Amino acid sequence: MEKYSKQQKEIATMIDSEDFLDKWKDWNWQLKHSIRDIDTFEKLLGISFEPSEKEKLEETLEKFPLSITPYYLSLIDSDDFRNDPIFLQAFPSPEELTVSDEELEDPLSEDTDSPVEGITHRYPDRVLFHISNVCSMYCRHCTRKRKVGDIDCIPGKEKILKGIEYIRNTPQIRDVLLSGGDPLMLSDDYLDWILSEISSIPHVEVIRIGSRMPVVLPYRITDELVEVLKKHHPVWLNTHFNHPREVTFSSRQALQKLADGGIPLGNQTVLLAGVNDCQRIIKKLVHKLVQNRVRPYYLYQCDLSEGLSHFRTPIGKGIEIMENLIGHTSGFAVPTYVIDAPHGGGKIPVMPNYIISWSTNRVILRNYEGVITTYKEPESYKQIYCDRNCEKCDLQLKLDDATEYKGIGIAKLLSDHDDTTSLVPEDNARMERRA
């Protein structure tokens, strides 16, 4: 049976005095009554801001708009809202207008790495497909503030088909990530059409969807939506829980529907100052996630997007959190801590150091307790020279894909088939002097 908090009942009654039990769980009703101004926010939560503060907040909204679903608003502790993790993620702060020199409109160079509108092709075998500019809530830490909120739109079929055509004509793409905004803001029929088109491409092996709906609007996860997704397996879904308080009765129901539909679930958490920069909070979060069949996937260092300085933590805080997870809880409950490098460098894993030293035949390691141990390298190992001629390889590969693999980056330096011995930055002064 659905559970409603006292605050949910009060908010729903103030929004719509008719029977809220029939409407609260309607995701379209939630969207229609999203809170988009400070006066409504104050009224529904029974709080008030000083005139001077309100003036600064209004100024913030002129650049970065406000939108909160009634459901997510109902999770805010109105008695201590200024320290509340839900409030901090959903409500604007004048600090968003402070843009430091290193912060960028498009910090990950997604637009630069876009061969056609809507597609970001950064990694060799996968693309990000931007199919929505609309979200059910505007997260204050969003890395795509340049797109979401400023221009609310869902691309028409003509634009979507251009992206699909690029995927169809690029055979190395085996993995397509549908992103936005939020892809689940699309209607079931439109999403079904997009999934059908992508699924029909022979070289696409898996489709992923990135959505925060299970967190901020769990009622969007309907039985009908799950049936649509099930038609196009393998479909994976990554969501975005940042704090254990977001794992509510309603969100657990949404996750259960998805998991029962055979959809593998992952979670991407962003490390946010004042919200979850505590090892106890993150550990509680990952435990709640795995209880609900969600695999913690990434712990992100906050991006260098405009106006996010107040959310960013030192990388040392992330390392400290990882030290308190690895070895201290189940391995599958430990996310990978990553920095999404500026200018399109991609996700770089950052981990505590467990290798203390290394010689020709021994590796000195330490574990999570600080125990130092030795691993002896095998003396009998015979190096295999790899010329990337897979068809004549003696190893029992027998893979159905005999495409010759060519390493790039560090993998290229490690390979035997290429004579490259170093990677030199484009503007290397020493090389310019040689020239």
Question: Binding site for [4Fe-4S] cluster: residue ranges?
Answer: 135, 139, 142
Residue of 63, 122, 168, 284 marked active site? 122
Residue of 71, 147, 303, 312 marked active site? 303
Q: Is residue 106 among the annotated active site residues?
A: no
Contact 249, 277 (CB under 8 A): no
Annotated binding site: 135, 139, 142
For 18, the 3-state DSSP assignment is coil
Q: Is residue 303 among the annotated active site residues?
A: yes
Residue of 347, 386, 390, 418 marked active site? 347
- C-alpha to C-alpha distance for 199 and 164, rounded to whole angstroms: 10
- C-alpha to C-alpha distance for 35 and 43, rounded to whole angstroms: 10
- C-alpha to C-alpha distance for 242 and 360, rounded to whole angstroms: 43
- C-alpha to C-alpha distance for 340 and 348, rounded to whole angstroms: 6
Residue of 71, 135, 145, 298 marked active site? 135
Residue of 72, 84, 113, 139 marked active site? 139
Q: Is residue 278 among the annotated active site residues?
A: no
- C-alpha to C-alpha distance for 63 and 57, rounded to whole angstroms: 10
- C-alpha to C-alpha distance for 33 and 54, rounded to whole angstroms: 22
Handedness of CA 28, 34, 40, 42 (dihedral sign): positive
Handedness of CA 97, 98, 101, 102 (dihedral sign): negative
Contact 292, 250 (CB under 8 A): no
Residue of 71, 113, 138, 144 marked active site? 144
**Closest-CA residue to 24 (of 13, 37, 36):** 13
Residue of 138, 142, 257, 277 marked active site? 142
Identify the DSSP state of 29: H
Residue of 77, 123, 168, 190 marked active site? 123
Q: Is residue 84 among the annotated active site residues?
A: no
Contact 229, 260 (CB under 8 A): no
Q: Is residue 122 among the annotated active site residues?
A: yes
Q: Is residue 390 among the annotated active site residues?
A: no
Contact 121, 127 (CB under 8 A): yes
Residue of 126, 145, 283, 312 marked active site? 126
Q: Is residue 144 among the annotated active site residues?
A: yes
Q: Which residues are catalytic?
A: 122-123, 126, 135, 139, 142, 144, 303, 340, 347
